[in-house]
Amino acid sequence: MADEASTGDKAVWALLGAVVGAGAMYVLAKEDVWKPNPVTYVEKTLEAAQRRAEQMSRWDYAEWVGRKAWVEAVSGYDSFLDVVNIEDAKIKVRIRETSEDENGLLHWDGDINLDPYWNVEVLGDEDADEALDLDSTWIDAPSIRIRETNYGFVVEHEPDIPGMPAVRLRPA
């Protein structure tokens, strides 16, 4: 495929991700899955940690908005306005404009877990038939968690949890 990144491109992106270290850059892993930069921040207060998590969420989103990606899960509403989750699929989407509210970039699950949603347009391909029938489609974006330690509040991207669907974005 002409759209696939070359080995040189992968090395450049990995190097940029390591050098920038600001959270906005994604690192291309061996399996060609873009993962958030593994930078961890430590803040003195919970409020400062929450602001940092929200900043990281905005950086992640800014990296992807308008781009096409392959995702493994999409959610949306069916004709009865019930939420439908399609998982374990390969669906091509475009990341759309998403609001900065509790239903978008700043969706908090309690005080220590930022679980953003990004609006997407389903573009088709592979397992997209069921997803094409949904309205107001979205994906779970990379989650950010806050942990309290002896040194302060650690802010980092949520690691993959065995048995739970992981957020995997592949450039399309």
The answer to the question of residue 15 being in a domain is no
The answer to the question of residue 69 being in a domain is yes
The answer to the question of residue 30 being in a domain is no
The tally of CA atoms less than 13 A away on the side-chain side of residue 61 is 26
The answer to the question of residue 28 being in a domain is no
Separation CA 157–CA 46 (nearest Å): 16
Overall number of domains in the chain = 1
- Identify which of 59, 85, 89, 84 has the alpha carbon closest to the alpha carbon of residue 71: 89
127-140 pLDDT tens trace? 667 777 788 899 99
> What's the CA angle centered on 52, arms 17 and 74, to 5 degrees?
70
The answer to the question of residue 153 being in a domain is yes
> What's the confidence (pLDDT) of residue 168?
65
The answer to the question of residue 6 being in a domain is no
The answer to the question of residue 122 being in a domain is yes
Q: pTM of the entire structure?
A: 0.73
> What's the confidence (pLDDT) of residue 103?
86
> What's the confidence (pLDDT) of residue 94?
92
Residues in the chain, pLDDT under 70:
1-38, 125-128, 159-172
Q: Do β-strands 26-28 and 152-157 pair in parallel, antiparallel, or remain unpaired?
A: unpaired
DSSP state at residue 164: S
The answer to the question of residue 52 being in a domain is yes
Its domain, for residue 90, covers 42-171
Tokens 């990144």 belong to residue? 5
